[in-house]
Amino acid sequence: MNVQQLKLLLELQALQHLQGKKEAPTTSFHDLFRELLTPETNEKTEAMRLSLPLMTSGETKAPTYKVSTPLHKDTIHQWIDEAAAKYDVDPKLIYAVIRHESNFNPQAKSRVGAMGLMQLMPSTARMLGVQDAFDPQQNIEGGTKYLRQLLDRYDGNMALALAAYNAGPGNVDKHGGIPPFRETINYVKKVMQTYYAASHIV
């Protein structure tokens, strides 16, 4: 267990107590550790594996879509690896973010306007120099660049970077850690579960 995992566990445990979590409590450190690192088996949070095909628009859980022909998975994997090398971000983290943001649908669009594989908001896309957020290569490049900026901002703390990716850095700074939003807490937990479950990249 590394320092980032320990920090995440302590933050999630503290937030669960503060929120008075109604479901079955996971109050012990051991239980929370096991819950975080044990991959869930249902299809919404199954561990991302590179051998899996890209999801079609009918299989993915992202809110809305445009009709498109799915790209070959190897093409997306190549773009992820290139962006990972360019910005020095672990490719497993990029895969995990895409898995939970869009389920690998390049044309995903959320109800609030987030776009593409890494669900970039229009203002964020502009800030990152992304001209077409539905272009998967541009989207991956922009999203990875943003992850790098957030990792730098929070001294490499993956949990805080992911929380900022989901809720915005303003909310992370305001709350001095992972914001006490159920969506953000669940997002951080699930992305990190997928990240740690991705045992290898081929």
Q: List, for residues 152-200, the tens digit of each pLDDT value.
A: 999 999 999 999 999 999 999 999 999 999 999 999 999 999 999 985 4
- In this structure, the number of other CB atoms found within 10 A of the CB of residue 59 comes to 12
pLDDT more than 70, % of the chain: 63
Rounded-to-integer distance, Cα 46 and Cα 96, Å? 11
Residues in the chain, pLDDT under 50 = 18-69, 200-202
Q: What is the pLDDT of residue 31?
A: 43
Domain 73-198 sits in CATH at 1.10.530.10
Give yes or no: 46 in active site: no
| Contact call for residues 66 and 107 (beta carbons, < 8 A) | yes
Report the helix count and the strand count for the chain, using DSSP H and E. 9, 2
The single residue of 82, 101, 141, 183 carrying the catalytic annotation is 101
Residue ranges per domain, the chain?
A: 73-198
Mention every residue, 6+ apart, whose C-beta is less than 8 A from residue 180.
15, 18, 19
pLDDT of residue 80: 97
What was the pLDDT predicted at 187?
97
